[in-house]
Amino acid sequence: MKVTGLALVPPPTAADLPKVTPELLASVLARYSRSNEGLAAILAKVDVNHPDASIDRILKFVDYGHASIGGLTGGLAIALDGVSMWLAYKIFEIATMADGQESSTRYIAMDATNLPAPEEIGVPDDLAGRWRDVMAAAFAAYNAEYLRLDLLATARPELVRVPAGANPAVVTRLRKNYALDRARYFVPFATRTNVGLVQSSRMWAMTVKHLDSLPQPEARAAAGLIRAELLKMSPRLLSHSQAERSYEEQAKQELAASLKLGLERLSAEPLDDEVWVKVDRDTPPWLPELQPISEALRYRANRYGHQGLATRRARVTFAWNNLALAELRDLNRHRTGHRYSPLVQGGFYLPPEIKHADHAVLLKEQLELTRTLLQRGSPAYLYSLLLGAQTPFEHSTQVDKFVYEAELRTGMGAHFRYAEHLSAALREFFHQMPAARAWVVEGTAEPE
């Protein structure tokens, strides 16, 4: 694992603008909110070449409950190379205010050399060899299925749904994606990936504190490395980023719940699709919502258009019983509202082009390894999962955000399985909010 902070510098076109460090920016804006002098007068009192005295005078307010000052630093950029897919998932779950990206499964190395060492992730010593064997077998299955499906798509190009008139480079890319997106369910959740995130000091402090409070050694190691980089950019505002009891106790309770549910539901059989949607349009009696749903939606030219109060005020919770970790990685990155998954294996998804029976030995060995780790109460059970593991997932947000996600994940270029899940959720949504049907664009995910 390697963590790197990226220091932002102004472009040449901003040469005439005031120059501030992240914490100097926070201190100046904090002073700005407590003064009627105007920004120029405040900056005139600051020595930008020796800003520490000014920063220290103002940022002392943080210790008296003014944590919002930490949000004034602007975005601090951190890149994490070589973290597990689980840790990437967890960081996005925690960092709900961050902008970020994770490496796609289409672009990272798919072999056993791209795994962390068992001791880095807390796999018990006596299970390390068994864990390595299962992971190597999973990568072998991935590579075999990718090759088979790529040859199949070459022989039967109609499977790829190539758009008319596509040039040869596009045809090749879509054919490769067809195979990659179906073979990926054998990828271990422990596989190393890369993550880049940008967020304020305030949110980084919360993220690092949370990571430092988790039982997984990889999370705590990441917390230390991230903190070390952030201290170079915002040393004062990261002072409250150590592990904290409330986080630790909640992490213990969540792990215990996952261990119990994991043992109850553990299976490598395909889990039938179920979806649950609940729309809540209740409003205070003294502040009703009078806008029709049609008026909230009709004026958008595309999914990025602004919606009205009728959808922005309405709440929606949607959940699936069987979201594969492959899809969970991306759906978890929709930042609005609250997302929750116990991260257990209640079934194992494979697309129709791949038969469970052809991989029965691998799936049995992986299942038994996971069972052993669950029975021992080990947080490392997560690293025995493959991306085909099906887990419950719940997301609660506002209706306008759900509409955006549904249109995005069924729209042009969406993964076929995203489209299946979001189309199912849309059917339930339209049942409860039929007036939205004419104005929400459900796509067909073409081409892949």
Considering the domain architecture, whether residues 305 and 399 belong to the same structural domain is answered as: yes
- The reported pLDDT for the residue numbered 64 is 43
Residue 257 located in a structural domain = no
How many structural domains are present in the chain?
3
Per residue in 201-214, pLDDT (tens digit) is 889 999 999 999 99
Specify the higher pLDDT residue, 99 or 53: 99
- The reported pLDDT for the residue numbered 246 is 97
- The reported pLDDT for the residue numbered 60 is 57
Considering the domain architecture, whether residues 175 and 226 belong to the same structural domain is answered as: no
- The reported pLDDT for the residue numbered 67 is 63
Considering the domain architecture, whether residues 208 and 276 belong to the same structural domain is answered as: no
Q: Is the pLDDT of residue 91 over 80?
A: yes
* Mean per-residue pLDDT over the chain, rounded: 90
Closest residue by Cα to residue 335 from 102, 105, 100, 103: 100
Rg (CA), the chain: 24
Residue 270: count other Cβ atoms within 10 Å of its Cβ: 14
- Sorting pLDDT into bands at 50, 70 and 90, what band is 242? very high
Considering the domain architecture, whether residues 336 and 319 belong to the same structural domain is answered as: yes
Residue 122 located in a structural domain = yes
Report the alpha-carbon distance of residue 30 to residue 20 in Å, rounded. 14
Per residue in 348-370, pLDDT (tens digit) is 999 999 999 999 999 999 999 99
Per residue in 367-394, pLDDT (tens digit) is 999 999 999 999 999 999 999 999 999 9
Q: Is the pLDDT of residue 163 over 60?
A: yes
Considering the domain architecture, whether residues 207 and 282 belong to the same structural domain is answered as: no
End-to-end CA distance of the chain: give it in Å, rounded. Answer: 32
Cβ–Cβ < 8 Å for 415, 327: yes
Considering the domain architecture, whether residues 277 and 327 belong to the same structural domain is answered as: yes
Cβ–Cβ < 8 Å for 322, 394: no
Q: Is the pLDDT of residue 268 over 90?
A: yes
Considering the domain architecture, whether residues 336 and 420 belong to the same structural domain is answered as: yes
Q: Measured between alpha carbons, how far is residue 394 from residues 267, 316, 337 in Å? A: 20, 11, 10
CB-count burial class (<10 Å; 0-12, 13-18, 19+) for 188: buried
Q: State percent of the chain over pLDDT 90.
A: 66
- The reported pLDDT for the residue numbered 447 is 67
3-state secondary structure of 118: helix
Cβ–Cβ < 8 Å for 360, 121: no
Considering 72-76, 95-99, 213-217, the range whose residues carry the highest mean pLDDT is 213-217
- The reported pLDDT for the residue numbered 378 is 97
Report the alpha-carbon distance of residue 329 to residue 93 in Å, rounded. 10
Residue 124 located in a structural domain = yes
- Sorting pLDDT into bands at 50, 70 and 90, what band is 24? confident
Considering the domain architecture, whether residues 182 and 203 belong to the same structural domain is answered as: no
Report the alpha-carbon distance of residue 171 to residue 219 in Å, rounded. 40
Considering 102-111, 261-270, 415-424, the range whose residues carry the highest mean pLDDT is 261-270
Residue 7 located in a structural domain = yes
Residue 236 located in a structural domain = yes
Report the alpha-carbon distance of residue 406 to residue 403 in Å, rounded. 5
Considering the domain architecture, whether residues 35 and 143 belong to the same structural domain is answered as: no
Considering the domain architecture, whether residues 310 and 419 belong to the same structural domain is answered as: yes
- Sorting pLDDT into bands at 50, 70 and 90, what band is 23? confident
Cβ–Cβ < 8 Å for 303, 422: no
Residue 285 located in a structural domain = yes
Residue 92 located in a structural domain = no
Phi, psi (rounded to 5 degrees) for 214: -85, 155
Considering the domain architecture, whether residues 143 and 236 belong to the same structural domain is answered as: no
Q: Measured between alpha carbons, how far is residue 164 from residues 144, 175, 178 in Å? A: 30, 14, 17
Full residue range of the structural domain in which residue 208 is found: 2-80+192-243
* Lowest mean pLDDT segment, chosen from 47-51, 161-165, 279-283, 401-405: 47-51
Considering the domain architecture, whether residues 174 and 232 belong to the same structural domain is answered as: no
Residue 328 located in a structural domain = yes
- The reported pLDDT for the residue numbered 62 is 45
Q: Which CATH number covers residue 408? A: 3.30.1360
